[in-house]
Amino acid sequence: MVCTLYYDVEKEDYSVINKDGYLTEDFIYKWLDYTKGKSSCCNLNIAPHSIIAVFPLKKANDVKRSIDELIYLPTKFHLIPCSFDIENKTV
């Protein structure tokens, strides 16, 4: 199972996602620095505009901790979490 949090960045802010749409090297180092060795982050992956938590369907462990971490990360890295209409995606 994959749990995804979509995020956006401030307009004209290229510190996280560069003009080509890729994650910047600086940001990747910061991300690795923060997540390294943390058990709650071992399921988490970062991509441009999304943070993804991957869980096995069977025997998933620490889902709550990972999701708590997932929703903390936008605050930590100054990202803007996107909201969804409960019916339609409104990113």
Q: Which of residues 5-34 bind other proteins (CB under 8 A)?
A: 5-6
The contacts of residue 82 (CB under 8 Å, 6+ apart) are: 6, 7, 8, 90, 91
Q: How far is CA 55 from CA 1, 6, 42, 60, in A?
A: 5, 17, 10, 6
Stretch that binds other proteins, among 10-18, 22-30, 32-40, 68-76 (CB under 8 A): 68-76
| The two structure tokens encoding residue 64 | 């709550």
Q: Smaller CB distance to other proteins: residue 24 or 77?
A: 77
Site for other proteins, rule CB under 8 A: 1-6, 54-55, 57-58, 60, 63-64, 67, 70-71, 74, 81-84, 86-87, 89
